[in-house]
Amino acid sequence: MDNQHRKVSGYRELNQDEIDLMNRIKAKGAELLQLQAELEQALMQQVRIKAANALENTSDHAEYERFCSAEPLRWASIGKTDIQTGLMALVRAVAQPAGV
């Protein structure tokens, strides 16, 4: 449906500069989220390698423990959430919806 935003309470017409800015924000967001996904894949590979090494060689167990206690997957997940929150805030700053 064309012009759906006109049927949603609190939204306004955006000018072309605002539309372009919002599209740039969304493009950078997609780029950042792709980078985060690459990081998560790299960390998952590290988990597999470090766990296998720790099983084969007890001297590698301390490195595996260090890695686990640093919680890199948790922090990567928090980073993703913060990126998404930041992007939503930037889009809202451009859109300037009325109300809450």
Higher pLDDT among residues 98 and 77, named by residue: 77
Q: CA 68, 43, 91: angle at the middle one, nearest 5?
A: 110
CA distances from 88 to 26, 29, 91 (A): 9, 10, 5
Q: What global pTM score does this model have?
A: 0.86
Confidence of residue 5 (pLDDT cuts 50, 70, 90): low
Q: Per-residue pLDDT tens for 19-37?
A: 999 999 999 999 999 999 9
Choose among 70, 83, 71: nearest CA to 37. Answer: 83
Q: Per-residue pLDDT tens for 58-96?
A: 888 999 999 999 999 999 999 999 999 999 999 999 999
Q: Where are the domains of the chain?
A: 26-95
